Amino acid sequence: MHMKLLLQIFTWWNGQTIGTRFHTWRHGQRVGEDEFGNVYYQGGTDSEGRTRRWVIYNGPAEASAIPPGWHGWMHHRTDVSPADEKYAVREWQKPHRANPTGTPNAYRPKGSIAGAGKRPRVTGDYDAWTPRS
């Protein structure tokens, strides 16, 4: 417990910041939780006069880990949270996949210097630059 609190104090990407913790304690009304363990809150008003909505992540702050139904609620696309309705995922909605940038699973297009194999030869539609040419 103490280690988690220290991480939250000294890092902004782990769960919640001290400011979020204080705002949640003071104004937060728990709305629900998603399948990833992220907890959603509302309370107070934002600069446009709407009810403020926020999420406390279960682990590192990864905005793409918010499921589609909760994303719509967070961005005021709907006033009804997925916890208050029977939200059905549409067939075209894909499950969350962590961003692989900077990992061995990152996308490396054909010819990338980070990819396997050799770069394709120049076809003649342009001349590659070389020093003193």
- How would you write 55-89 as a 3-class SS string? EECCCECCHHHCCHHHHHHHCCCCCCCHHHCCCCC
Does residue 25 belong to any structural domain of this protein? yes
pLDDT for the residue numbered 29: 87
CA end-to-end span of the chain: 64
Range of the domain at 44: 20-96
Q: What's the structural domain count of the chain?
A: 1
pTM for the whole structure: 0.60
User: Quick check: is 115 in a domain?
Assistant: no
Domain-located, residue 15 = no
Q: Does residue 116 lie within any of the structural domains?
A: no
Q: What's CA 27's distance to the chain center, in Å?
A: 24
Phi and psi torsions of 41, nearest 5°: -135, 160
2-41 pLDDT tens trace: 566 666 555 555 555 555 555 555 667 888 999 889 999 9
Residue 105 lies in a domain: no
| Residue 103, pLDDT score | 86
CB atoms within 10 A of CB 113: 6
